[in-house]
Amino acid sequence: MKVLVTGGAGYIGSHAAQRLLADGHSVVVVDNLSRGHARAVQRLREHARNGDRLGFQHLDIRATDTIETLIREHRIDTVMHFAALTYVGESVEKPLDYYENNTAGSLSLLRACERSWSHAHGGVRRFVFSSTAATYGEPPADRVPIREDCPQNPINPYGASKLMVERMLRDSVAAAARSGSDFAAACLRYFNVAGADHTGLIGEDHDPETHLIPIAIQAAMGKRPGMTIFGEDYPTSDGTCVRDYVHVEDLADAHVTVMQKMTTGTCVAYNLGIGRGYSVKEVIAAVERVTAKPIPVRIGQRRAGDPPVLFADPAKIRAELGWSASWTDLERIISTAWEWMRRNPEGYGR
Ligand code: UFG
């Protein structure tokens, strides 16, 4: 297939691009590089299998006309849409940035796809969207593990900005079906994405870093003096929040699986998680074991907007598409992140 990967210079998008190339697909990455790394794409081009099948355009998805031209010129048939701002806290401070980048950006991209249905090659037929468990908000305890039919009530602008895109996709697929256009969409709701490419070529590099596992590894490496656990008084077994950590390579695998099995006229949603949760303290202890280094920890206040327990019921994608996570051991997942950060202490470099 000929796949447009938006946000392909970012953490998850670059791993998806790597997997698509490995499977023999052609990939065009579009990234405005506001958060992504040109060096991630460069490494894939130079070292990935079929790296010569990877194109790169430094471009914002809000440039509708240029995106449409790109779809035409590269005869794109599939879009994997990762480009987004993804910090929950930042979204509370700057909600309009999130609606502009994530919601309006997706609208622009979708408009370009819609226009492409009149192109000679038939245009974009499949759209795979990076959605998030943040669209569920704070599900009641009796709805955890979370199934796809759990009510979606996001509690922050990040989750809301993504939920609106799910709605746009559903409506666009229905309209396309009515007009006889060949179009399908999938909304993949990620839980906590973790780890790095097991070959060490690409990995996670956020600035600032806010995620638990890389912060714990940085603390173990002495790159920060220590770390804070955000709240120890949650109604969980050890008082800290519980999350479902899914390996980024499994996530890439799920995207490819979904892409290959999409049915015209449908807009589906799947949770992507391993189906079990680990507490913050369990994660920190696992990072200590993997790195064989102690992590200085202090207990701090709860972080606003953190639900106590979030983990997926991944039964739907297993039953319908036969996908399940292959990285289910937390220490193994962490080992890949540790390996990446050890080999690339400055990430991709600034
Ligand atoms: N945490 C700490 N200390 C830190 C960093 C995190 O205690 O220094 C805690 C958080 O409070 C939370 C847990 O570790 O309880 C995980 O936090 P992350 O920031 O790693 O991840 P989140 O669960 O907040 O969010 C992630 C993604 C979101 C996505 C969400 C869905 O970043 O984009 O998972 O589950 F929406």
Whether 250 and 229 map to the same domain: the answer is: no
**Does 254 reside within a domain?**
yes
Would you call 209 helix, strand, or coil by DSSP?
Answer: coil
Check whether residue 218 and residue 169 sit in a common domain: no
Q: Tell me, what's the pLDDT at 304?
A: 82
Residue-averaged pLDDT of the chain: 97
Q: What's the confidence (pLDDT) of residue 256?
A: 98
Q: What is the pLDDT of residue 307?
A: 87
Give yes or no: residues 64 and 180 share one domain: yes
* Mean of pLDDT values over 89-100: 95
The number of domains in the chain is 2
Residues 182 and 291 placed together within one structural domain of the fold? no
Cβ atoms of residues 187 and 317 within 8 Å: no
Q: Residue 193 phi/psi, 5° resolution?
A: -80, 135
Alpha helix (H) residue ranges in 151-308: 157-179, 212-221, 248-260, 280-291
**Domain identity same for 308 and 336:** yes
Using DSSP's 3-state secondary structure scheme, residue 157 falls into helix
> Per-residue pLDDT tens for 234-261?
999 999 999 999 999 999 999 999 999 9
Instruction: Check whether residue 150 and residue 22 sit in a common domain.
Output: yes
How many whole angstroms from 82 Cα to the centroid of ligand 1? 19
The answer, yes or no, to whether any atom of ligand 1 lies below 6 A from the CB of 134, is yes
In a domain, 311, yes or no: yes
Reported as a pLDDT band with limits 50, 70 and 90, residue 91 is: very high
Annotated catalytic residue 158: yes
Residues 121 and 267 in one domain: yes
CATH number of the domain enclosing 308: 3.90.25.10
Does residue 201 lie within any of the structural domains? no
pLDDT exceeds cutoff 80 at 350: no
pLDDT above 80 (res 305): no
Averaged over 206-223, what is the pLDDT? 96
Give a yes or no: residue 147 inside a domain: yes
Question: 141 and 125 in one domain?
Answer: yes
Does the Cβ of 335 fall within 6 Å of ligand 1? no
Give the pLDDT score at 59: 98
Q: Which ligand 1 atom sits closest to the C-alpha of 227?
A: 8
Q: Are residues 169 and 318 in the same domain?
A: no
Pocket test for ligand 1, best of 152, 158, 212, 224 (most atoms within 8 A of CB): 212
Distance 21 CA to ligand 1 centre (A): 30
The reported pLDDT for the residue numbered 160 is 97
Which CATH number belongs to the domain containing residue 66 in this structure?
Answer: 3.40.50.720
Whether 306 is covered by a domain: the verdict is: yes
Residue closest by Cα to atom 33 of ligand 1: 86
- For residue 324, the enclosing domain spans 212-243+276-343
pTM exceeds 0.75, yes or no: yes
Please name which of 250, 232, 229, 242 lies closest in space to residue 318, comparing C-alpha atoms.
250
Same domain, 163 and 68: yes
Residues 37 and 120 both lie in one domain: yes
DSSP 51: G
Does ligand 1 lie within 6 Å of residue 110's CB atom? no
Q: Which residue has the tokens 């770390």?
A: 227
The C-alpha atoms of residue 300 and residue 307 are separated, in whole angstroms, by 16
pLDDT in tens, 103-142: 999 999 999 999 999 999 999 999 999 999 999 999 999 9
Residue spans of beta strands (DSSP E) within 91-202: 126-132, 184-190, 192-194
Q: Token digits for 47?
A: 């070292």
Catalytic residue among 11, 136, 158, 234: 158
Question: Is the Cβ–Cβ distance between 305 and 91 less than 8 Å?
Answer: no
Instruction: Examine the domain organization and report whether 263 and 233 are in the same domain.
Output: no
Mean predicted confidence (pLDDT) in 74-90: 96
Does a structural domain hold residue 168? yes
Residue 56: helix, strand or coil by DSSP? strand
